[in-house]
Amino acid sequence: MFKYSLLPLVSVFIFINHGLLAQKVNEFPKKTDPLYKKVEMFDRLMLGNHWNEGAIMQHVIFPPAGLERPIVGSQADCLDPTSEMLAAYSHKYAITGDPKDRKIANDIFEAILKLEKVTGVEGLVARSFNRTNEPLWHEEVFWYHEWHQSSSMPGYRWLGDLSADKFTSIFYGVGTFWELCADDEYKKKAAGLLDRFIGRVVDNNFKLTDLDGKMTLWGNFCPNLPHQELNSLEMLAALKVTHHITGKERYNAAYHMLIDRYHYDDHQINSKILFPKEWRNVGDDYHAARSLYMIMRLETDPNLLNKYRMNLNRHWYDWKDLEFTWESNIWFLMVYKVLTGEDIFTEEKKQGIKDMWGFERNTREFKIPQKDGSFKLVRSEEERTAAAMIRNYWFGRYYGIIDEKW
């Protein structure tokens, strides 16, 4: 028998009777608007409708299937938009110097700290958290059963089984925040978080481990286990960033041990699968792009830089011909330009940047499980995320790729 809360079902009547909506922001831009206006309006939508105590929801389902608070929806990837908005506001603050921009970045970073605190284990970071005493219906529908009741934060539930891509989101987002936005107090907090998080992975023989101490499903960076080439790149990047931020020699030693003894520097070159074409994975490209962006700006050894450039070149073979069907595709080109200095932005590609879009608000039926094993169909509105678009914009502005007048 299911034990989740029926609050969303009861809310059908509450919200209809009183006319209350979880959507606090309802104004969308037009696709013909200038880029800066689209970004400004999608930013308001994200902060107004996706803000879960500083964490950014990747997917929000509104009442009656959802709640007034944005905590109902698929949440396995919440660290992605959270890190993207953290990076966005870090780049934005570096341009504007506006204390309000820094405050928003600080609040997002505090949510990542809460993702650690909610697990009750130092260095263990959750995928997402919800303030609720009882399970909600989406826990049964959108992910496998890795939700836990928090022992350290009563009244919260959290989603476990962290994966390599979320590992990358953490060192990328926190590293960018430390570099561009954090004051001395927050630099110490950021260094402390990475020290605990990456340190726990190193202590567990380069494996992401969950509450039960077992390796997570996609948490294998271990030199003693077969793993993807991409995971070798992600681990090297994480160690490089953490050493740079904490100054602790243990991360530099681990970095060079994985290179000298286990040849992670050679292994990572083939992170990009090129053939057959059907095996190319744009999601993996995103994790590689974030890793290469962080590591190539910190590495000074010309031999290692050459190997990372070989990895980047393999990605460029595919990226140069990508259609801009996903906002992160555009960012790949920005990263390539930043890391190489090559002038790759044709008028067509510049227009692709100007045409960036966030999301549409959709309406569909949700199949909500009931205690008796049946399902109830509830029609509701939903939103996805515009965090990558917003990050792209401020990243491009920071590096002079995007004109503020666009």
pLDDT band at 22 (very low <50, low <70, confident <90, very high): low
As a whole number, mean pLDDT of residues 9-37 equals 66
Residue 277 confidence class, pLDDT cut points 50, 70, 90: very high
CA distance 73 to 93: 30
32-398 topology per CATH: Glycosyltransferase (1.50.10)
Mean pLDDT computed over every residue of the chain: 93
**Distance (Å) of CA 208 to CA 202, 235, 258:** 9, 11, 16
Percent of the residues in the chain that have a pLDDT greater than 90, as a whole number? 90
What is the average per-residue pLDDT within 77-94?
98
* Residue 279 predicted with pLDDT over 80: yes
Residue 7: pLDDT above 60? no
Model confidence at 11: pLDDT above 60: no
The pLDDT value given to residue 21: 52
pLDDT of residue 16: 31
2 confidence band (pLDDT: 50, 70, 90): very low
- Within a 13 Å sphere around the CA of 159, how many CA atoms are in the beta-carbon half? 25
- Rounded-to-integer distance, Cα 201 and Cα 167, Å: 10
Q: Can you give the pLDDT at residue 295?
A: 98
| pLDDT digits 0-9 by tens, 144-194 | 889 999 999 999 999 999 999 999 999 999 999 999 999 999 999 999 999
pLDDT score of 258 more than 70: yes
Q: Please name which of 315, 124, 292 lies closest in space to residue 201, comparing C-alpha atoms.
A: 124
Name the band, by pLDDT with cuts 50, 70 and 90, for residue 12. very low
3-state class of 251 per DSSP?
helix
pLDDT at 316: 97
d(CA 50, CA 175): 23
The predicted structure's pLDDT at residue 371:
87
Reported as a pLDDT band with limits 50, 70 and 90, residue 328 is confident
Where does 318-391 show beta strands of DSSP type E? 362-369, 375-383
Mean pLDDT within 323-345 = 92
pLDDT tens-digit map of 190-236: 999 999 999 999 999 999 999 999 999 999 999 999 999 999 999 99
Please state whether 158 falls in left (phi above 0), alpha (psi between -120 and 50) or beta.
beta
The angle, 0 to 180 degrees and rounded to 10, between the axes of the packed helices 164-180 and 79-96 is 10
β strands within 246-297, DSSP E = none
pLDDT in tens, 38-77: 999 999 999 999 999 999 999 999 999 999 899 999 999 9
Banded model confidence at residue 323, pLDDT cuts 50, 70, 90: confident
Q: Residue ranges of the alpha helices (H) in 97-218? A: 99-117, 138-141, 164-180, 184-203
Beta-ladder partners of 51: 56
Please give the torsion angle defined by the CA atoms of residues 114, 120, 124 and 128, in that order, rounded to the nearest 10 degrees.
Answer: -50
**Residue 101 has which token pair?**
């921009």
User: What 3-state class would DSSP assign to 220?
Assistant: strand
Q: Per residue in 10-38, is it b (16+ CB within 10 Å) or e — as a string?
A: ebeeebeeeeeebbebeebbeeeeebeeb
Other beta carbons within 10 Å of 155: 10
Residue 9 has pLDDT above 70, yes or no: no
CA–CA separation, 303 vs 396, rounded Å?
A: 29
Interval 124-139 mean pLDDT: 96
The CA distances from residue 141 to 30, 95, 161, 229, in Å, are: 33, 41, 16, 32
Q: Left, alpha or beta for 272 (phi > 0: left; psi -120 to 50: alpha)? A: beta
CA distance 362 to 382: 5
Q: Alpha-carbon distance 404 to 127, whole Å?
A: 34
Beta-strand pair 207-209/156-159: unpaired
Q: Is 167 helix (H, G, I), strand (E, B) or coil?
A: helix
Per-residue confidence band for 261, with pLDDT thresholds at 50, 70 and 90: very high
pLDDT at 3 over 70: no
20 — pLDDT class (breaks 50, 70, 90): very low
Q: Angle at Cα 341 formed by Cα 337 and Cα 344, nearest 5°? A: 50
Whether the Cβ atoms of residue 212 and residue 219 lie closer than 8 Å to each other:
no
Per-domain boundaries in the chain:
32-398
The pLDDT value recorded for residue 327 is 79
**Mean pLDDT on 129-141:** 94
Q: At what angle do helices 99-117 and 79-96 cross, to 10 degrees?
A: 150
Q: Has residue 243 got a pLDDT over 70?
A: yes
d(CA 235, CA 62) in angstroms, rounded, equals: 38
In this structure, how many other beta carbons lie within 10 angstroms of the beta carbon of residue 267?
Answer: 21
Which tokens belong to 333? 């080109």
